[in-house]
Amino acid sequence: MTRQELLNRISIDPRICFGKPCIRGTRIWVSLIVDNLAEGISEAEILKAYPQLTADDIRAALAYAAEMTRERIIPIPLAETGS
């Protein structure tokens, strides 16, 4: 599946979930999927918890997150060095 096909699985509708990016046809936020992955929850566990999702939906969430990182910078404090 191409990146564009993955991104087409994402829906943004101001009438659904306050306009937050969701997996098309669901009310599952992209951020929920990415947060779960960041916390170490496996793809298999996510698919079990949300049976309406597919592996391609998880890949779509990651593709969308990657696109978003190209658009804005989130400030992260630099670690202090002991110099």
What's the rounded Cα separation, in Å, for the pair 47 and 44?
Answer: 5
Neighbours of 29 (CB within 10 A): 16
Q: Give the residue from 22, 26, 24, 25 showing the smallest Cα distance to 34.
A: 22
Domain boundaries, the chain: 3-71
Check: CATH 1.10.10.10 for 3-71?
yes
pTM (2 d.p.): 0.82
Give tens-digit pLDDT for 51-81. Answer: 999 999 999 999 999 988 886 666 667 666 6
Give tens-digit pLDDT for 11-45. Answer: 999 999 999 999 999 999 999 999 999 999 999 99
Residue 76: exposure state from Cβ atoms within 10 A (0-12, 13-18, ≥19): exposed
